[in-house]
């Protein structure tokens, strides 16, 4: 059935510049597990970026596996997004309502 909705896929990446050469997959799942990964990220105020195609590609990697070089550019764009979100969130408590 062409109209059947595919279950959601979620992949969490981690990166420690002191020990990792590239971001690594730290969690991956489909369906209910994907929803739980997203929920946990939101509970921890971790920015979530939605890209079904990229999530599907990253989901093929094993937990602990580094992303391949051909994905560096797209993941770098996401990391820039995450960094910008972190900066926005850091400024929020300091803002005053008038």
Domains contained in the chain, CATH given? 9-94 (3.40.1690.10)
Rounded Cα distance, 14 and 22, in Å: 9
User: What pLDDT was estimated at residue 4?
Assistant: 59
- With the C-alpha atoms ordered 23, 16, 87, 33, is the resulting torsion angle positive or negative? positive
3-state secondary structure at position 70: helix
Which runs of E-coded beta strand occur in 1-98?
9-14, 24-30
Residue 3's pLDDT band (boundaries 50, 70, 90)? very low
List Cα–Cα distances, 24 to 3, 14, 28, in angstroms.
Answer: 33, 5, 11
Judge whether 20 and 72 are in contact, CB under 8 Å.
no
- Percent of the chain at pLDDT > 70 equals 89
pLDDT tens, residue by residue, 56-91: 999 999 999 999 999 999 988 888 887 887 788 777
Q: pTM for the whole thing? A: 0.77
pLDDT tens, residue by residue, 24-35: 999 999 999 999
């Amino acid at each position: 059935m062409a109209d059947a909705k595919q279950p959601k896929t979620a992949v969490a990446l981690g990166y420690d510049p002191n020990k990792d050469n590239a971001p690594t997959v730290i969690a991956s799942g489909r369906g209910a597990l994907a929803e739980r990964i997203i929920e946990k990220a939101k509970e921890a105020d971790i920015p979530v970026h939605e890209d079904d195609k990229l999530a599907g590609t990253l989901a093929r990697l094993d937990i602990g596996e580094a992303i391949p070089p051909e994905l560096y550019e797209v993941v770098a764009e996401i990391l820039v997004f995450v960094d910008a979100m972190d900066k926005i969130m850091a400024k929020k408590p300091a803002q005053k309502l008038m």
